[in-house]
Amino acid sequence: MPQWIPEQKWKDEDVYIIGGGTSLESFDWDLLKSKLTIGCNDAFLHGKDICKICIFGDTKWFLANQEKLELYDGAVFTNCGKLYKSKIPWLWSMSRIARGLSHKALAWNKNTGALAIHLSLLLGAKRVYLLGFDMKLSKNGKANWHPNHIDKPNKDIYPEFIQGCENLKKALPKEFPGVEIFNVTDDSDLNVFPKISAKEFWKGKL
């Protein structure tokens, strides 16, 4: 596996992070075709036109999706410790730290969404827009917009996810000054970053 040395290939660009929340169930994915995107976990199933980079941090998820990932034509990143020294040629890796932000490693911060944000910062993003960061189960108990579940939906994990995003935000001014992060997710329980109505946001992007 190639170890990735950060390059600001997306310097001063807008970057969109595709989360897993059910708010994306009716999302118009074509809106992302011209955007720079990083998709968490199953977002890669939409292909490179929608999901330019796939990122994951869970070994169990990788083992369940490895065959499909081999057919994906975008880039794949991880900070899984168990995969750091593997020989998979198409899997980009960085070492893992538990929390905060770094320029030499990818922080886990307890969830793949925060991991994706960190990668966007290392790529040079100036503004980061979060999509599908619901941080809660839907009213009918669903966790994701996609049907693929590695673990049973569990509402108790979301406070940890939110805490991880708070840790990231605390480190942001020192490590990546001037970067803005916005949560474009309606009815989200993530209040760490400024929120923008999805309808109003995309109205200005069409």
For the cut 70, the answer to whether the pLDDT of residue 136 exceeds it is: yes
pLDDT value, residue 153: 85
For the cut 60, the answer to whether the pLDDT of residue 34 exceeds it is: yes
Q: What percent of the chain has pLDDT over 90?
A: 87
User: Between these two residues, 189 and 82, which has the higher pLDDT value?
Assistant: 189
Q: What is the pLDDT of residues 161-180, one digit of tens each?
A: 999 999 999 999 999 999 99
Q: Rounded to an integer, what distance in angstroms lies between the CA atom of residue 168 and that of residue 120?
A: 13
pLDDT value, residue 204: 67
For the cut 60, the answer to whether the pLDDT of residue 206 exceeds it is: no
pLDDT value, residue 2: 75
Full set of structural domains in the chain with CATH: 14-203 (3.90.1480.10)
Q: What is the pLDDT of residues 91-116, one digit of tens each?
A: 999 999 999 999 999 999 999 999 99
pLDDT value, residue 205: 66
pLDDT value, residue 149: 72
Q: What percent of the chain has pLDDT over 70?
A: 98
Mean pLDDT over all residues of the chain?
A: 94
User: Between these two residues, 151 and 13, which has the higher pLDDT value?
Assistant: 13
